[in-house]
């Protein structure tokens, strides 16, 4: 492990945040945790944060907005977005904002660490001219539909009636679709 070991975990789910923090502490990281955007910014100003794992949805802010704010305080830091409500459009936006990767929950410390080290090693491979050979995983049509529904619902601020109107379906149909678990890729 290199000297860049300060990790910030930003998630409003306290149990998940503390479990993840414990896993990374066991791996030798100096872990800082925050339950929201304001706390994360305060921590980033006070600590030499190298990596940040940020939840997309938080009560006091949006993970996408937090990417730029964290990077303006610590430009050298690498930000990874975690979400349980992923979509292609939010993943693209996260990368456009400066995130190095985007992972779907549930995830664990090993997968996050691989993404973190993938971004630091990937940068050196890219500068050396090597193209990483990662297989492209094509989502199923059901998965794409579910992601689109989640995006429209998010754009409607969680208002099911408004989301149903935008999708052109009945509210009850949308409610039934939302009760299902997200389809596997």
Instruction: Tell whether the model's pLDDT for residue 122 goes beyond 80.
Output: no
Q: Are residues 160 and 106 in the same domain?
A: no
Instruction: Tell whether the model's pLDDT for residue 1 goes beyond 60.
Output: no
Domain region containing 85: 6-127
Query: How high does pLDDT run on average in the chain?
Result: 81
Locate the DSSP E strands across 23-91.
Answer: 30-34, 51-55, 57-58, 61-62, 78-83
Q: Please give the structure tokens belonging to residue 141.
A: 């049509």
Q: Are residues 71 and 13 in the same domain?
A: yes
Q: What pLDDT score was predicted for residue 128?
A: 37
- Is 134 within a domain? no
- Is 39 within a domain? yes
Q: Are residues 37 and 106 in the same domain?
A: yes
Ramachandran region, residue 153 (left: φ > 0; alpha: ψ -120 to 50; beta: rest): alpha
Identify the burial level of 39 via C-beta atoms within 10 angstroms of its C-beta, where 0-12 means exposed, 13-18 middle and 19 or more buried: middle
pLDDT in tens, 27-51: 899 999 988 888 989 998 998 889 9
Domain count, the chain: 2
Contacts of 32 (CB under 8 A, 6+ apart): 6, 7, 8, 9, 43, 47, 49
| Average pLDDT, integer, range 165-172 | 94
**Does an H or E element contain 7, and which?**
strand 6-10
- Is 185 within a domain? no
Confidence band for 182, pLDDT divided at 50, 70 and 90? confident
| Average pLDDT, integer, range 173-178 | 90
Query: Residue 56 — φ and ψ, nearest 5°?
Result: -70, -45
Q: Are residues 62 and 101 in the same domain?
A: yes
Q: Are residues 121 and 166 in the same domain?
A: no
Which of 45-49, 55-59, 124-128 has the weakest average pLDDT? 124-128
Q: What is the DSSP letter of 138?
A: P
């Amino acid at each position: 492990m290199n000297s860049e070991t300060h990790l910030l975990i930003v998630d409003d789910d306290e149990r998940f945040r503390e479990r993840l923090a414990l896993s990374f502490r066991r791996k030798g990281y100096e872990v800082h945790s925050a339950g929201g955007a304001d706390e994360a910014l305060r921590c980033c100003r006070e600590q030499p944060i190298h990596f940040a794992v940020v939840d997309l949805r938080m009560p006091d802010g949006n993970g996408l907005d937090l990417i730029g704010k964290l990077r303006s305080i610590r430009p050298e830091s690498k930000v990874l977005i975690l979400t349980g409500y992923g979509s292609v459009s939010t993943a693209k936006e996260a990368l456009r904002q400066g995130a190095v990767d985007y992972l779907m929950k549930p995830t664990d410390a090993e997968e996050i660490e691989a993404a973190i080290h993938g971004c630091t090693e990937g940068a050196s491979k890219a500068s050396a001219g090597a193209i990483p050979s990662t297989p492209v995983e094509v989502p199923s049509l059901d998965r794409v539909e579910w992601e689109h529904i989640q995006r429209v619902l998010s754009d409607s601020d969680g208002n099911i009636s408004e989301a149903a109107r935008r999708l052109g379906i009945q509210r009850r149909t949308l409610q039934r679709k939302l009760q299902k678990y997200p389809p596997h890729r």
